[in-house]
Structures are given as C-alpha cells and as structure tokens.
A and B are shown apart, each in its own frame.
Chain A
Amino acid sequence: MDAVLFWILAGLSVVGGLVVITGRNPLASALALGLVLIAIAGLFAMLSAHLLFILQLLVYAGAIIVLIVFVIMLLDLDDRRLGEMKIRWGRFGVSAAICLVACVAVLRGVRGLTGLREPVHASFGTVTDVSRLLFGPYLVQFEILGLILLVGILGAVVLAKRGG
C-alpha cells in the first residue's frame, strides 16, 4: 500500500517536474508545478509530517502558485515572445547530460540509505510537536524569519509600485 502510493506520488512529481522545465507556455509549467507540490505534500503526509503537509498545501500549492499564475496573466506574453523563449534543445541537451551525470553520481551514494521504518511516537510532526521546537530552541530564528517576511512584503510593494 505504502509502496504503491509512494511510486504514484513519485511518478507524478517527476513527470510534473519535467513538464515544468520543458513547457513552452509558463501557465502549463505553473499548473504542473502545482501538481508536483501537491504530490510532495502527499509524500510529507506519508512521512508523518502532518504540519508540513498542510503548510505545503497552504503556502506552496495555494499562495505561491496563485501568485505565479497571477503574474503570468499580468505579463500576458504573446505567442511571438513565448516562441523566442522556447526551449533550445542544444543548450538543453548539454545541461541535461551534465545534470544526468551528477544525478547518477549522487544516486549511487544514496543507494545505501535504509531504515525509514523506525517506530515514531504518535505525536511526531504534529503542530504541538513542531511548535515546541519552533518556539523553543529556534525562537530567535523564527523571529528573524518574521522580520524577513516583513522586509519581503515591503520590498515587493515598493518594487511593484515604482515603475507604475
């Protein structure tokens, strides 16, 4: 059961990932990315990371994809522009070869990793469990993160407002 689910989700995410990078129309890429993100959310759920599962859906599949789609529609690139930016197979092939070699090299190292089936305590990865760390040892980092988000919002507003 677990294995079947894993392979389905893994297949979905790999195929979706390939569509993301090969798509001509960015909207197709964005929707494929949404699919990948949802598949990864499913993998988080299988890894009993409950909070991450929900956050992945909320922030990635929800907010970020919607933002990307919004911008794609705002730019409204016509066919000519998209044609100029479509995939160049020569460049793609060389990069793909490099990536494939690196990927295989890393995968050989990964092969030895086993032992996922360790027993996990029932509350593993729940909101309470993660928050205890987030508001304990990682409190300072968490607050800094809040600051970064604030700066990010201000930056985005300033960038979007100027020019107009």
Chain B
Amino acid sequence: MGEVTLGHYIGLSVVLFFIGALGVLSRKNALIVLMSIELMLNAANLAFAAFARRWGQVDGHVVVIFVIAIAAVEAAIGLAILVGIFRNRQTVDLDDMTALNE
C-alpha cells in the first residue's frame, strides 16, 4: 500500500470531480444533477484541505468553509427552484425544461 502522499488525496479528488462532472453531463434527473454538483464541490474541498495540510497553512480550510456555506445556499435555492418547477410543470426532467428555447 505504501505511504499516503499528497498525490493520493489530489488523485482521489480528481476522480471524484470527474465522477460528479459525468453525472452533470449525462443525467436528466435534475435532483441527481444537483447531487453531482455537490460531489464536485466536495472533490474541490478535499483538494483544498490536502494542500492546506501540505503547506501547513489553514487558509485552505477557510476556503472550504466558504465553499460549504455556498453549497448549502446553492442546495436550498436549487431545490426550491426544483419544487417550484415541479409545481408548475409536474416534471424534474432537465430535457423538458425548455420554455426559454421555444
């Protein structure tokens, strides 16, 4: 197994980020797309925390706290919008949300 280095953490962060990106690109269910975005934000958080540990500076942690707070707001607003859309159009399918397209 060997020693865990910074590369391991950043590698994991990259993998998680692309898993999230894949979800955003390929899914039609808006709820799952929102969750994939959370996944991507978390991958970034992990990278911040790993680099903070590498350089012995807590500034990275501060950034992560900001990201967590913003993610909470994003989830709240995003889900509120979803509920609103569902009330009007009975769907959460992203491909059906084309009102501005027509």
Contacts and interface: CB of A to CB of B under 8 A. Distances in A.
A and B touch in the complex (CB under 8 A): yes
Given A20-B39, A81-B91, A116 B49 contact: no
A116 B14 contact: no
Interface in B55-102: 56, 58-59, 61-62, 64-66, 68-73, 75-77, 79-84, 86-88, 91-93
Nearest to B2: A3
Contact of A60 (B53, B54, B59, B68): B68
B58 A130 contact: yes
Contact of B23 (A21, A59, A102): A21
A68 B31 contact: yes
Given A14-B15, A33-B39, A47-B50, A163 B56 contact: no
A40 B53 contact: no
Contact of A13 (B16, B27, B64): B16
Contact of A115 (B6, B14, B18, B39): B6
B92 A107 contact: no
A164 B28 CA distance: 25
B84 A162 contact: yes
B57 to A, nearest CB: 9
A4 B61 contact: no
Interface of A: 2-4, 6-7, 10, 13-14, 17-18, 20-21, 23, 26, 29-30, 33, 36-37, 40, 43-44, 46-49, 51-52, 55-56, 59-60, 63-64, 67-68, 71-72, 74-75, 77, 81-82, 84-85, 87-88, 91-92, 95-96, 98-100, 102-103, 106-107, 110-118, 120-121, 124-125, 129-130, 133-134, 138, 141, 145, 148-149, 151-153, 155-156, 159-160, 162-164
29 contacts: A3-B2, A21-B32, A26-B32, A36-B39, A40-B46, A43-B12, A44-B49, A48-B53, A49-B52, A52-B64, A59-B72, A60-B68, A64-B71, A68-B31, A68-B75, A71-B79, A75-B82, A81-B91, A82-B29, A91-B26, A99-B22, A107-B15, A113-B10, A116-B50, A116-B53, A133-B58, A138-B62, A149-B69, A159-B83
Given A55-B68, A60-B42, 9 more contacts: A52-B49, A103-B14, A106-B18, A116-B6, A124-B53, A125-B53, A130-B65, A133-B61, A151-B73
Interface of B: 1-12, 14-16, 18-23, 25-29, 31-32, 34-36, 38-39, 42, 45-46, 49-50, 52-54, 56, 58-59, 61-62, 64-66, 68-73, 75-77, 79-84, 86-88, 91-93
